[in-house]
Structure 1
Amino acid sequence: MMPATLKDIAVKAKVSISTVSRIINDDLSKPASQETQEKVWKIVRELGYVPNQNARTLVKNLSSTEQSLKTKAIGCIFTSTKDTFNDPFFSFIARGVQMEAAKHSYVLGYSFSSSDMNQSALYNNITTNKVDGAVVMGRFDRNFLDLLKVNFGNLVYAGLNYVNGGFDEVICDAYRASICAVEYLISLGHRRIGYLGPVPEAEEVINEHRFAGFRQAMTAKSLEVSAQCFKTVELTSESSYQRMKELIAEGPLPTAFFCANDTVAIGAMKAVHEAGLTIPADVSFIGIDDIEMSAYVNPALTTIRVPKEELGKFAVKILIDRIEGGHEIPVRLDIPFELMVRESCVSVKDR
């Protein structure tokens, strides 16, 4: 099958070749309408257009001559946060990636966050930088998944939420970790439990399973999952802080909250403190991740420990094995999590 060309895209979009070129290259000298841009990008993804030979070799079977020209470089693509290397979760995964890559004499060819790029910048970053494979971290939608699969022959996902995307994955299963967290709260006698975090129905991402785990643990014990008890928040302290202030004003609060990560929990706990309530006497909190700060907040946060550096290290091991011909079928490695009991949860009878 012949690779797609600018002309193919132009014909299908019913625009000129120059218009397609300007959109893909983010040329604003003569900008196209938003509707035209969206139509062109949709066709780009459908046809799997790759603008240069370097990127094209990533999605085609390399010849034996090309195999000898491997770059010994891998890319890192972060999809959930702009300030990745200061993010308390992703920064540790990234460190594991860097350490393991160096161990195998691979270099980090590039590292960027897709969350702060427009479509043309993102597309050009992915398709114009030659690497042998890439590690992708974070949550993404179906369109982004298709873009990754078209442009990378060697790809591995590292994170909490399984993708089922037809490529390698190294996960610490957020679905099961969420069930574990909620079951712990239930074991303490809590029955009215709230949730703070992403709710898939409110987003377009395909790899987000924490709310599903929360709901499963609740329904398994015939506990109500009330719309008043779960709130969609971004995975930031500021978002959860503001949302918790709203919940406090609405009252009464659940006796405990499961938070989609520690950052969310810390923001919500701040709002509770400011309202003059006591943790855990008035409300208990549990998170996921076990970032360093979780052990130092007051009270220390009970959470699910995720081995973050190991996620990065094993992702690189599996990626390099694929690059060097070690395996062809998609594999998934599930790294175990651990419940870290600290001071932010208490049994209902001891409140």
Structure 2
Amino acid sequence: MAKAPTVYDVAERAGVSIATVSFAFRRPEKVKASTRDMVLAVAREMGYVPSASARGLAHGRTRAIGLFAFDYLLDSLDRQPPTAAAGSGPADPAGVVEVADPNEDFRLFPLYVDEIQRGVGLECWRRGYALLIGGRGHADTDAVIADIAGRVDALAVFPRTVPADTLQRISRRMPVVELSEPGQLDELNHVTVDNVRGTRAVTDHLITAHRLTDFGFLGDTTGSDQQARFTGFRAALRAAGLRVPRKSLSPNGTTTFDTGAIVDRLVASGHLPKALVCATDQDALAAIDALRRAGVTVPGDVAVVGFDGIVAGRIGHPTLTTVRQPMEQMGREVVDILVSQLDQPGQPPIRRELPTRVVIRESCGCPTS
């Protein structure tokens, strides 16, 4: 196999410095357009590909950022209701018709995680960083996170994916950003949104615009973001002089796959509130499905609102009133913080809280436009 061309080979043939070749690939805006086009043409002709490992050796960095996420379906697998028995559908001798899996819901994608991941990826690409994505699945978390952390310069994590003591340990040797509300004794960087104000605003809309007085909060409040949303919900009810629930209708640890069963029990008990404020859009969409199966209309009998602003909320029926958080921008902010911490080591933790906005659609009872 022929020896791969190096940056020195390209620079010699193009008649430029190795710095110009490097900038042509990594910082093209710093190179005159005609020079950049000439360098790239020479590189293509020679079959030159920049070496990330060589750059890392030269600068003491990998120029890679890690993102530790989670697989929503894998993490919830054990909580899903049983699938339909094999062969329960019509016979298909040719094997070309697939019986639909009732648990395979098109509305699961893209989720909050996917949209933030897209923002991280776009900003890494813009800044010339590689992105390494990993997740827990059913593997040992410490082993997986250690493998990722060993390959990157900085790390971003979604909430409740990595134990707090593990994150604190990693943060002593590289910048770490968590996509959540900060904890009390937390020294990490954080990117989040104004969860309290967003949920309070959508609850206020139900109170003032629709004159609703009977409320329930649906969703797990174990996480700091969801707890903040529950706080905003309770604040709105308290300010309006309404009854303030002490806890969510969903037990802690509940997943979206449990939401239907919770709604079924509420309907059967006769204690279904007139308005359900949900911790996430996924909770809201699952609740709407369960209410429909029970013969309860949304928004005729019960108003339902969510939080996130995922695509599925725009295409279901009724369309979902929600609190939209700027998910792509959150991903970009993550990269901005990590690069800033890499460029200026020793900074105090950076914490950014982005605004939210209420998006009014049909599920709260507002007319369609």
Q: TM-score by structure 2 length?
A: 0.67
- Give, in whole Å, the separation in 1 of the partners of 2:285 and 2:252: 13
Residue of structure 1 in register with 2:96 after alignment: none
1:175-254 alignment, distance < 5 Å:
175-187=196-208, 188-200=210-222, 205=223, 208-226=227-245, 230-232=249-251, 236-254=255-273
Once the 2 structures are TM-superposed, how far is the Cα of residue 66 of structure 1 from its aligned partner?
8.7
C-alpha separation in 2, matches of 1:71 and 1:292: 34
Output the CA distance in 2 between the equivalents of 1:228 and 1:183.
19
- SS of the residue aligned with 2:65? strand
Residues 75 and 131, structure 1, Cα contact 8 Å, conserved in 2: yes
- Which of 102, 109, 120 in structure 2 is aligned with 1:97? 120
RMSD of equivalent CA atoms: 2.8
Say which of 146, 151, 157 aligns to 1:130: 151
TM-superposed CA distance for 1:113, in Å, is 2.0
Q: Is the 8 A contact 2:74 2:138 kept in 1?
A: no
Greater shift in the superposed pair: 131-140 or 80-89: 80-89
Q: Relative to 1, partners in 2 of residues 1:178 and 1:184: Cα closer, same or farther, differing over 3 Å?
A: same
In our comparison, the structure showing a higher alpha carbon Rg is: 2
In the alignment, structure 1 residue 106 sits paired with structure 2 residue 129: yes
Q: 1:196–1:232: 8 Å Cα contact kept in structure 2?
A: no
1:74-93 alignment, distance < 5 Å: 74-78=65-69, 81=72, 86=109, 88-93=111-116
Tell me the CA shift for residue 230 of structure 1.
2.5
* 1:183 shift after superposition: 1.6
SS at match of 1:231: coil
Q: Which amino acid aligns with 1:221?
A: A
Rate the CA distance shift 1:263–1:81 in 2: closer, same or farther, 3 A: same
CA gap of 1:222–1:231, structure 2 versus 1, over 3 A, is farther
Question: Which residue in the other structure is 1:155 paired with?
Answer: 176
Q: 1:323 to 1:229 in 2, by over 3 A?
A: closer
Matched, 1:174 2:195: yes
Post-superposition offset of 1:120: 4.7
Name the CA distance, whole Å, in 2 between partners of 1:235 and 1:263. Answer: 12
Letter of the aligned partner of 2:67 in structure 1?
C
| 1:105-134 superposed Cα distances (whole Å, 9 cap, x missing partner) | 1101x322236333553454355x231101
Unmatched runs of 5 consecutive residues or more in structure 2: 1-55, 76-107
Letter of the 2:200 partner, please give it.
I
Aligned equivalent of 1:279: 298
Contact 1:80 1:140 in 2 (8 A): no
Deviations 1:8-31 (A, max 9, x none): xxxxxxxxxxxxxxxxxxxxxxxx
Structure 2 distance, partners of 1:233, 1:296, is 29
Counterparts of 1:3-152 in structure 2, within 5 Å, are 68-78=59-69, 81=72, 86=109, 88-108=111-131, 110-114=132-136, 116-122=138-144, 124-126=146-148, 129-139=150-160, 144-152=163-171
What is the one-letter code of the residue matched to 1:78?
A: A
Number of residue-to-residue matches in the alignment: 274
Q: Give the counterpart of 1:259 among 278, 286, 289.
A: 278
- The 2-side partners of 1:171 and 1:238 are apart by 25
Q: Indicate conservation of the 8 Å contact 1:198/1:211, yes or no.
A: no
SS of the residue 1:230 aligns to: coil
DSSP-derived class of the 1:278 partner: coil
CA shift in 2, pair 1:120/1:252, >3 Å? closer
1:344 alignment partner AA: S
Residues 307 and 323, structure 2, Cα contact 8 Å, conserved in 1: yes
Q: What corresponds to 1:50 in structure 2?
A: none
